[in-house]
Amino acid sequence: MLGLKRNYIQDDMKRSDILKICALAAPLQACTQEPAHPNIIFFLVDDFGWVDTEVAFGPEDYPQNHRHDTPNFLALSRESAILTNAYACPLSSPTRTSIMTGLNSAHTRITNPLASVRGTDNTCPGEVLETADWNVNGLNPAVPGYEDNVERSFYATPFVRLLRDAGYYTIHVGKAHWATAGTPGSNPYNMGFNVNVAGGVVEFSKCGYRSEDNYGNLAGGRAVPYTVQNMTEYYGSGLHLTQALTREALKTLEYPVQEGKPFYLYMSQYAVHTPIQDDPRFYSKYLERGMDEGQARFASMVEGVDVALGEIRSWLEEKGIADNTVIIIMGDNGGNSENLAKGGVRHTQNKPLREGKGSCYEGGTRVPMIVYWKGHVTPGTMLNTPVICEDLFPTILDIAGVEERPTVQTSDGESLYRLLTDGSAYVAGLHPGSRREAYATVVPESISGLDPQRYIVSHYPHQWKPYPIEDIDYLSSIRSGDWKLVYRMLSRSLELYNLADDIGEQHDVAAEHADIVAVLAKALSERLRNWNAGMPVCKGSGLPVPYPDELAAALCDTTDIAANRDI
Amino acid sequence: MLGLKRNYIQDDMKRSDILKICALAAPLQACTQEPAHPNIIFFLVDDFGWVDTEVAFGPEDYPQNHRHDTPNFLALSRESAILTNAYACPLSSPTRTSIMTGLNSAHTRITNPLASVRGTDNTCPGEVLETADWNVNGLNPAVPGYEDNVERSFYATPFVRLLRDAGYYTIHVGKAHWATAGTPGSNPYNMGFNVNVAGGVVEFSKCGYRSEDNYGNLAGGRAVPYTVQNMTEYYGSGLHLTQALTREALKTLEYPVQEGKPFYLYMSQYAVHTPIQDDPRFYSKYLERGMDEGQARFASMVEGVDVALGEIRSWLEEKGIADNTVIIIMGDNGGNSENLAKGGVRHTQNKPLREGKGSCYEGGTRVPMIVYWKGHVTPGTMLNTPVICEDLFPTILDIAGVEERPTVQTSDGESLYRLLTDGSAYVAGLHPGSRREAYATVVPESISGLDPQRYIVSHYPHQWKPYPIEDIDYLSSIRSGDWKLVYRMLSRSLELYNLADDIGEQHDVAAEHADIVAVLAKALSERLRNWNAGMPVCKGSGLPVPYPDELAAALCDTTDIAANRDI
């Protein structure tokens, strides 16, 4: 039950220090008030690119930030902290299961989007490498009443169960995608949700956003077994799926609000994933602006999500609970730059970032992240410490004030609580003079509890599509501070980028910084080994691809290079 | 919020009278305890025949009562009141919407099972009569946020919303079938449920109970748009749908039990509706007993439902809430005697009752009903007062102790609360010597608040199947006491049966009791007129079929008969 207390003051800080910072910048409320159990809305947008909204997460406000009208995201961001260096996994299920478990996807071995049918490995066969072994059945909950007998599946304690056990009323609306059909993980109830609307196993590329198509529930040859469920009310209504889901979400929120119970709403948008189907409210406007049809369709979908956010915020205001409701915005992976339906020129949609969805380059993993929490997060601040999806597990539990956390796993993620609260207050106090300056400002570990040089690991040991894509398949990466190492497993090469100078990862400086390469390769390898991460297997030798520190050593030793090449 | 008080003592009874009855028969608890807000489980079984279980609802224990092993129904009935003269409508949606509104189906004009697609009239064209106009889009909720703009739909306040508003946690598991897709009524949330599992718009005859078929969610040509939803966890699990739904129901109950909130569970079984697909746990046993395959399949489905009931009861015991949980068992219409898949001989499955599902003869409308409420209902009693599905609206609200009932409609049904509580105590005190004697015992109106001669009206102004069925199509009936009038609209004839002597409706005594025919025809006609009931239309004349009192008058006046025939 709720009633637990959090200890706001960390051991390494004196209360007087906090009060000093508070007096400087943060609303007094944040410093004096006992922790409540705020409502939490996690607003997760599918395939949401880093530059898909008007909110500039970069050191510059890029032209791409002005393609889509997103006044609600922009307004929210001004009242929130913007996390400029937020990472998801390169693909959907890995991110979703990382959030649920607090573990890196290399650790859960859920490294690819899951198929619908149990036991299906939907990675694509490569010519040179065999796909890495991975948990094709996804995440299953380690909870009473279920034995851990689903093969090729990772068992962990979902954080939503901890929220529910602590007295939160937990609501799932939208896309789940944690596990295959025929397993407990496919059912949001087992993950800890009291209520589920539309969450199940969905082959979404075959479904749809159009009420005229019953959101994919059509008779005959067009019918597919895994479609959007629970939405019969809106069939033929003319409402885009994003609108319909928003209405359902608000309906299910009535109960906890009426009962005065804190709620956790996982508002998991199907948009802006393929199929790219226009939201007719906004489509023609973008055509008139000169976009091609694909671009205009996609733009209308993004604006639909923006309006959904606005509707939710209006509702919170009406109910008088906006001030006590935390809103976390995030994308589940980078924007899709591989799909022709989005129009424009492929592999450019996330510029200045390189590549998109599926890739360990920044375009695939760097995502929008905004945290609104009135009185706790200082509005309009930029937080530049790198953060990653597995951080959400401890972060949300901290925000919720849940101290009892019996789990079978130990979180890889770290709580962003102090970064968001004390960190945002600290940044606000610095009054940075320019966006570039603000972007260079880092919250020290003594304030945030987070080492700004902390390692951010991404790992994709598969081929995504039936055809090879050089900047997506078989990549692994690690970031620390401004430095980022990319391990190309197919060519067994290491690249090094300095993101401060080269956010687009255009200038490989590995040859000039062998020492940094070695450090990062070692750090990445240690994590992959400790996590028993899946590695692709060389078809020729039948041996797994070497860890990157085996290559890095080789960079200084030609004998080793030759030895590695024989594998 | 809960905290309302019910007035147990009716105006026409003195408290001393109640205490006398209590002292005689009822547990003291029922007389002295303040009304709590008990949990309520409404266990509705689809196409559940009157003689499908071992519970004998008749004046005799018929051979048909011993076809299926139903120890859990039997055990429950011994701790409950058995309502021997309980009526549903002849078909599914009419009953389900009557329960939800407290109105007779002739009043809602929802007189046929609904199609899935909005606006579809799925009654079948007859040769002589046009189908009656009816509300093809079913029931929609008259609630804030929705205008009453769905055409051919009845708007009313669903009782589940009143339960929820009074503080009940309301859970829907299974079949809904109140409205077509594209209307708010198709969504259990709008009807007042906090939680919905598997309730939507289902064309169930095309779906299934088998996990191997994903309960109907199959790819390719076999896929249908309206299938059982939210059950991905169980795909391929080997669990019959009845088992899987039971597990889901128990999961969703954890929350209100943990929170100490009263719950209403609408456990709406898809079974034992077609398709008749065996529950493999029990199938071979029935084959070994000499049943044909259809009979054995059906028997196994019935036993599956029986086991589901047992599992729910065990769970209630484990949680320590069995004594504070009311269980209401009911069928949504008579057993299906028209479907070849059930095996045996058609039109005999409900014997001694005439016909089955679809019919206004007893086989179509008389259904099992059992009410368990420890300490309030005297165990093992037979209550013979005729009751009908629309009575559930006020009954459940009375049991729940909900006094605030803002509704747009005025209930046609009457509360069974006093019949169940005081009535069962009264009957228990009589110690009837035999089943027949017990069956003839009627609770006086002064005890139950219900006139034992109250009118029970059924109305089916359509042709059900593509081919005509004489004892199903275009029938209307009214019962009072032992007398039952059947109006055959196609032949414009009236039949009269005395159910005390002739439960099988084999001996039409209309000619011998013209006075009773006239009284009943008048009573039926008054109701049909007041409710603006849909009447079939003669194709020849374009005029609606006459009301039965127009015919009854004609029985005494040949001029009028001729006049009627011209219509």
Whether chain B has a CB inside 8 Å of the CB on A181: the answer is: yes
- Nearest by CB to residue B182, choosing from A164, A236, A251, is A236
pLDDT digits (tens, 9 = 90+) for A288-328: 999 999 999 999 999 999 999 999 999 999 999 999 999 99
- Nearest by CB to residue B182, choosing from A186, A196, A235, is A235
Joined together, the tokens standing for residue B69 give 């092993």
Catalogue the E-assigned strands of A191-302. 195-197, 263-268
Residue A3 backbone zone (phi > 0: left; psi -120 to 50: alpha; other: beta): left
Q: In angstroms, rounded to a whole number, what is the distance separating the alpha carbons of residues A121 and A148?
A: 20
Single-letter amino acid, residue A101: T
Joined together, the tokens standing for residue B93 give 């949606």
Residues 6+ apart with CB under 8 A from A335: A47, A48, A49, A50, A51, A52, A349, A350, A356, A357, A363
Radius of gyration of chain B (CA): 23
Give the orientation angle of helix B293-319 with respect to helix B241-259, to 10 degrees: 10
pLDDT in 10s for each residue of chain B, 567 residues: 333 333 333 333 333 343 333 333 333 334 444 457 999 999 999 999 999 999 999 999 999 999 999 999 999 999 999 999 999 999 999 999 999 999 999 999 999 999 999 999 999 999 999 999 999 999 999 988 888 899 999 999 999 999 999 999 999 999 999 999 999 999 999 999 999 999 988 876 667 899 998 998 875 544 557 888 999 999 999 999 999 999 999 999 999 999 999 999 999 999 999 999 999 999 999 999 999 999 999 999 999 999 999 999 999 999 999 999 999 999 999 999 999 999 999 999 999 999 999 999 999 999 999 999 999 999 999 999 999 999 999 999 999 999 999 999 999 999 999 999 999 999 998 877 888 889 999 999 999 999 999 999 999 999 999 999 999 999 999 999 999 999 999 999 999 999 999 999 999 999 999 999 999 999 999 999 999 999 999 999 999 999 999 985 555 444 443 344 333
Q: In angstroms, rounded to a whole number, what is the distance separating the alpha carbons of residues A524 and A311?
A: 42
Residue in chain A nearest B161 by alpha carbon: A255
Give me the pLDDT at residue A218, please.
Answer: 74
The contacts found for A487-494 with CB under 8 angstroms, 24 or more apart, are A487/A521, A487/A524, A487/A548, A487/A551, A489/A129, A489/A461, A489/A535, A489/A536, A489/A545, A490/A126, A490/A128, A490/A129, A490/A536, A492/A545, A492/A546, A492/A551, A492/A564, A492/A565, A493/A551, A494/A521, A494/A548, A494/A551, A494/A552, A494/A555
DSSP code of A115?
Answer: P
Closest-CA residue to B282 (of B236, B234, B335, B242)? B242
- Nearest by CB to residue A237, choosing from B182, B235, B251, is B182
Contact A214 B225 (CB under 8 A): yes
pLDDT digits (tens, 9 = 90+) for A39-62: 999 999 999 999 999 999 999 999
Whether residue B272 is preceded by a cis peptide bond, meaning omega within 30 degrees of 0, is yes
DSSP code of A344?
Answer: S
pLDDT digits (tens, 9 = 90+) for B59-106: 999 999 999 999 999 999 999 999 999 999 999 999 999 999 999 999
Single-letter amino acid, residue B343: G
Q: What is the pTM of this model?
A: 0.91
Residues 6+ apart with CB under 8 A from A511: none
Contact A182 B223 (CB under 8 A): no
pLDDT digits (tens, 9 = 90+) for A243-265: 999 999 999 999 999 999 999 99
Q: A467, exposed or middle or buried, with CB in 10 Å at 0-12, 13-18, 19+?
A: exposed
* Interior/surface letters B279-313, b for 16+ CB within 10 angstroms, e for the rest: beebbeebbeeebeebbbbbbbbbbbbbbbbbbbb
Q: Which residues of B touch A230 (CB under 8 A)?
A: 187, 196, 200, 229-230
Q: Are B546 and B524 in contact (CB under 8 A)?
A: no
DSSP string for residues in A284-323? HHHHHTT--HHHHHHHHHHHHHHHHHHHHHHHHHHHT-GG
Give me the pLDDT at residue A5, please.
Answer: 34
Whether chain B has a CB inside 8 Å of the CB on A149: the answer is: no
Helix or strand run (H / E) with residue A75 = helix A71-78
For B102-166, where are the alpha helices, taking DSSP H only? 105-108, 159-165
Phi, psi of B297 (to 5 degrees): -60, -50
Q: In angstroms, rounded to a whole number, what is the distance separating the alpha carbons of residues B461 and B131?
A: 7
Determine the residue among A232, A237, A311 to mutate to test chain B binding: the one whose Cβ has the most chain B Cβ atoms within 10 Å: A232
Beta-bridge partner residues of A42: A266, A328
Joined together, the tokens standing for residue B285 give 């046993």
pLDDT digits (tens, 9 = 90+) for A433-474: 888 889 999 999 999 999 999 999 999 999 999 999 999 999
Q: In angstroms, rounded to a whole number, what is the distance separating the alpha carbons of residues A201 and A225?
A: 9
In angstroms, the separation between the Cα of residue A564 and the nearest Cα of chain B is: 45
Give me the pLDDT at residue B554, please.
Answer: 53
In angstroms, the separation between the Cα of residue A224 and the nearest Cα of chain B is: 5
Residue in chain A nearest B213 by alpha carbon: A225
Average pLDDT in the A179-183 region? 96
Q: Which residues of B touch A255 (CB under 8 A)?
A: 164, 194
Whether chain B has a CB inside 8 Å of the CB on A65: the answer is: no
Q: In angstroms, rounded to a whole number, what is the distance separating the alpha carbons of residues B294 and B299?
A: 8
Whether chain B has a CB inside 8 Å of the CB on A187: the answer is: yes
Contact A221 B220 (CB under 8 A): yes
Residue A535: how many other CB atoms lie within 10 Å: 23
Vertex B442 angle, CA B436 and B447, to 5°: 150
Residue in chain B nearest A184 by alpha carbon: B233
Helix or strand run (H / E) with residue A248 = helix A241-259
Distance of CA B101 to the CA centre of its chain: 13
Scanning the structure block, which residue is given the tokens 């309006």? A307
Vertex B247 angle, CA A95 and B205, to 5°: 95
pLDDT confidence tier of residue A224, bands split at 50, 70 and 90: low
Q: Which residues of B touch A252 (CB under 8 A)?
A: 189, 194
Vertex A296 angle, CA A291 and A301, to 5°: 155
Q: In angstroms, rounded to a whole number, what is the distance separating the alpha carbons of residues A250 and B254?
A: 23
Q: In angstroms, rounded to a whole number, what is the distance separating the alpha carbons of residues A420 and A331?
A: 18
For B42, B156, B159, B194, the CA distances from B404, given in Å and listed in that order, are: 21, 16, 11, 19
DSSP string for residues in A455-493? EEEEEE-SB-SSS--TTTTTEEEEEETTEEEEEETTTTE
Catalogue the E-assigned strands of B106-200. 129-130, 139-141, 154-156, 169-174, 195-197
ipTM value, please give it.
Answer: 0.90
Q: B434, exposed or middle or buried, with CB in 10 Å at 0-12, 13-18, 19+?
A: exposed
Scanning the structure block, which residue is given the tokens 């991110």? A95
Whether chain B has a CB inside 8 Å of the CB on A213: the answer is: no
Contact A223 B224 (CB under 8 A): yes
- Nearest by CB to residue A225, choosing from B195, B197, B219, is B219
Q: Which residues of B touch A263 (CB under 8 A)?
A: none
Helix or strand run (H / E) with residue A528 = helix A514-530
Q: In angstroms, rounded to a whole number, what is the distance separating the alpha carbons of residues B357 and A69?
A: 57
Q: Are A168 and A244 in contact (CB under 8 A)?
A: no
- Nearest by CB to residue A184, choosing from B183, B223, B233, is B233
Give me the pLDDT at residue B4, please.
Answer: 33
Q: In angstroms, rounded to a whole number, what is the distance separating the alpha carbons of residues A44 and A173?
A: 10
Scanning the structure block, which residue is given the tokens 């804190």? A262
Give me the pLDDT at residue A551, please.
Answer: 84
Beta-bridge partner residues of B156: B141
Give me the pLDDT at residue A3, please.
Answer: 33
Give the orientation angle of helix B92-101 with respect to helix B392-400, to 10 degrees: 40
